[in-house]
Structure 1
Amino acid sequence: MEKLWQPHVCFVNSKKSELHTSPTPNTFVMIYPNGTVWINYRLRVEGLCYMDLSLFPFDVQECELILESYAYNAAKVRLKWRDWDPVFSYGSRARLPDFVLSNVKWAKNSFFYAAGQWDQVPLS
């Protein structure tokens, strides 16, 4: 893994992120015959979510996670969701105590920093 180039994608609006490491880092690498490399990490991410609880317990909250490369701008790394089933399918296992995960949306944006344009792929 240390010898593979990686785009260094991060959650730019997360409060905390950590790689699962029980008993070793949960990393999956697959190399396809055409040379495509797929690296999959199992992460725990605590995202920022502004909540309006004035209608609790009948409220609806919308939270967003934004992914972007922290090391490379769009001239070096382009981020996009796959055309088919881009995020995941959520079923009965996506239920949390007292919460229901519904209506997952994804998009693609550009953000301009002093060092250039970066691709962002938000998930809400």
Structure 2
Amino acid sequence: MHIISISSISEVQMDFTCDFYFRQGWRDTRLSFEKSPGIDALYVGAEVSDRIWVPDTFFANEKSAQFHSATTPNTFIRITSKGEILRSIRLTVTTSCPMNLQYFPMDRQLCTIEIESYGYSMADIMYKWGIDGKGSVGMSDQVELPQFKVKGLKQLQKIEYLST
């Protein structure tokens, strides 16, 4: 995940909105192919995501979200000869961010983007942050907020047990 911008943080609505590139990788050996000279991977557009299996990822604390599609859908899929898939999409997401304003204006808030599978259990799908999680979440140096300072980014893996 690479955050391009944080467009708003609202103490009233207790949410924040950010624009980011969301990348997911997985392996599907059904899509493996024999290499040709100079062709190690195939790059395809959004139309292919309707024809292959993709994780049913959603943002559990999402209030609203939008895909970007000007001038073309902002997504791509890379498939390697071994069936390793990388999907990248550009999203703008508003998520809830419960805030404790007891020490306002000297308070610190922790706003999260919670990623889960909508329909699969942990027996079917497991989300992991890159290699040891290092570099899995980044942010553009251009992100500036007039009334706030971003103190850091971190990712963590958490297991949730939900009744179905």
Instruction: State how far apart, in whole Å, the 2-side matches of 1:59 and 1:114 are.
Output: 35
Aligned partner of 2:151 in structure 1 is 102
Instruction: State how far apart, in whole Å, the 2-side matches of 1:23 and 1:79 are.
Output: 31
TM-score, length basis structure 2 = 0.62
1:70 counterpart letter in structure 2 = Y
Structure 2 unaligned segments of length 5 or more: list them. Answer: 1-48
| From 82, 93, 98, the counterpart of 1:50 | 98
Q: Counterpart of 2:120 in 1: which secondary structure?
A: coil
TM-score, length basis structure 1 = 0.80
The structure whose Rg is larger is: 2
1:2 counterpart letter in structure 2 = D
Aligned partner of 1:29 in structure 2 is 77
C-alpha RMSD of matched pairs (Å): 1.7
**What is the CA-CA distance between 1:24 and the residue it aligns to?**
2.6
**1:21-52 Cα deviation digits (max 9, x unpaired):** 21332112111233211111100110101223
Q: Counterpart of 1:30 in 2: which secondary structure?
A: strand
1:13 has 2:61 as partner: yes
Report sequence identity in percent.
Answer: 32
1:79 has 2:127 as partner: yes
Instruction: State how far apart, in whole Å, the 2-side matches of 1:70 and 1:81 are.
Output: 18
> Which structure's relative contact order is higher, taking Cα pairs within 8 Å and 6+ residues apart?
2
Aligned partner of 2:160 in structure 1 is 111
